């Protein structure tokens, strides 16, 4: 009789299969973290936690109830359920399970949470505080003028900036189509200034665009810390993250009547429904700004 494949063994194979299907490293890591949490919880409630055929829908429902008790939002629980569904579907497709016990589990209702954006006076204050540092100023300006993601900015290379043709290329990863974002005059000016400054600094990584003070590439955590520093200096009290700069780009472009298709392409959204949210942000938040700053 063939020995049953364990849950932990199956997880390793599942993550490798995602890599083979060109899922991004970030997505694979997120699936791995969510499923590792599920398995760790199973270990505390079942002796046979590592036997896939012993698991059923009730285990998944109980895990989601456990997460609710920890105070996780509906959005977070829905994300973890999505990972569990995909994992069990993989086990079913490969004959490890006869059925997919997660297929009929209903996810938690997602809380409607409107993304924060910066008003004009706020992002101007942010830029003002960073203006004495060519690198930090260029980082914040690039976020605001291109709408790229944090992970995308941290991996930009020198060759991705085409000053002559006024283009920034964002690499989408293996098997996916790259996208190009036109650079406006202000972004070009700031990037040129940073590149002149970069040439006079210590350089240990001659391919990455934005470098740390020690000449190596900046990581995601460092970029977050840079933005957070200037948010504090600018006195911006609203809860925000680096992603708020991306939201700000999308909302302000929508407010200027950029077409949905163009905005979707620039921001790299797979679904137009994601881009439509910025139309709503432009009509609510920016209208609110007009009222608050009225003469």
pLDDT averaged per 10 residues in sequence order, the chain, 295 residues: 73 92 91 93 88 87 90 86 92 88 79 75 96 97 96 94 96 74 96 95 91 92 96 92 94 90 92 87 67 53
Q: What's the rounded Cα separation, in Å, for the pair 285 and 156?
A: 31
Three-state SS at 266? helix
Give the span between the Cα atoms of 67 and 44, in whole angstroms: 14
Name residues whose C-beta falls within 8 Å of residue 6's C-beta, 6 or more positions apart in sequence: 50, 51, 52
Place of tokens 């063994």: 9
Structure tokens at 277: 């949210």
d(CA 236, CA 256): 24
Q: How far is CA 66 from CA 42, 59, 63, 202, in A?
A: 11, 10, 5, 50
Cα distance between residue 205 and residue 215, in whole Å: 6
- At 255 the pLDDT is 87
Bridge partners, residue 181, by sequence: 168
Distance CA 243, CA 281 (A): 14
Burial 67-102 (b: 16+ CB within 10 A, else e): beeeebebebbebbbebbbbbbebbbeeebbeebbb
Domain 120-292 = CATH 1.10.443.10? yes
User: What residues form DSSP beta bridges with 169?
Assistant: 180
User: What residues form DSSP beta bridges with 162?
Assistant: 167
166: closest CA among 190, 183, 181, 178?
Answer: 183
CATH of 7-93, one of 3.90.950.20, 1.10.40.30, 1.10.150.130, 1.20.120.430: 1.10.150.130
Secondary structure of residue 180 in the 3-state scheme: strand
Beta bridge partners of 182: 167
DSSP-assigned states of every residue in 205-261: -SSBSSB-TTSSBPPHHHHHHHHHHHHHHTT--S---HHHHHHHHHHHHHHTT--HH
Our measurement of the distance from residue 63's CA atom to the centroid of its chain's CA atoms, rounded to an integer in Å, reads 25
Q: How is the chain split into domains, by residue range?
A: 7-93, 120-292
Can you give the pLDDT at residue 111?
A: 53
What span, in angstroms and rounded, lies between the C-alpha atoms of 150 and 219?
Answer: 10
Would you report the helix, strand and coil content of the chain in percent, each value rounded to 5? 60, 5, 35
Q: Which residues contact 48 (CB under 8 A, 6 or more apart)?
A: 54
Cβ neighbors of 52 (< 8 A, separation 6 or more) are 4, 5, 6, 7, 10, 91, 96, 97
**Positions of E strands within 36-178:** 161-162, 167-170
Q: What is the pLDDT of residue 106?
A: 84
């Amino acid at each position: 009789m063939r020995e049953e494949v364990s849950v932990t063994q199956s997880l390793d194979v599942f993550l490798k299969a995602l890599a083979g299907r060109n899922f991004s490293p970030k997505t694979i890591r997120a699936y791995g973290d969510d499923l590792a949490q599920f398995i760790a919880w199973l270990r505390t409630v079942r002796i046979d936690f590592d036997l896939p055929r012993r698991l059923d829908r009730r285990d998944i429902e109980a895990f989601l109830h456990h997460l609710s008790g920890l105070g996780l939002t509906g959005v977070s629980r829905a994300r973890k359920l999505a990972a569990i569904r995909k994992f069990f579907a993989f086990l079913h497709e490969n004959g490890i399970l006869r059925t997919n016990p997660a297929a009929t589990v209903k996810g938690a209702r997602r809380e409607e949470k409107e993304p924060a954006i910066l008003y004009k006076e706020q992002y101007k204050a942010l830029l003002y505080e960073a203006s004495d540092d060519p690198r930090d100023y260029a980082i914040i300006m690039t976020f605001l003028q291109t709408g790229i993601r944090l992970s995308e900015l941290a991996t930009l290379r020198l060759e991705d900036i085409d000053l002559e043709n006024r283009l920034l290329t964002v690499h989408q990863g293996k098997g996916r189509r790259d996208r190009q974002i036109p650079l406006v005059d202000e972004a070009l000016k700031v990037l040129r200034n940073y590149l002149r400054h970069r040439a006079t600094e210590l350089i240990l990584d001659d391919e990455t665009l934005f470098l740390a003070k020690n000449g190596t590439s900046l990581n995601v955590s460092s970029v977050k810390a840079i933005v957070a520093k200037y948010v504090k200096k600018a006195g911006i009290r609203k809860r925000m993250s680096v992603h708020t700069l991306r939201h700000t780009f999308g909302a302000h472009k929508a407010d200027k009547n950029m077409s949905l298709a163009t905005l979707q392409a620039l921001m790299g959204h797979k679904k137009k429904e994601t881009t439509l949210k910025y139309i709503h942000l432009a009509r609510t938040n920016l209208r609110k700004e007009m009222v608050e700053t009225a003469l």
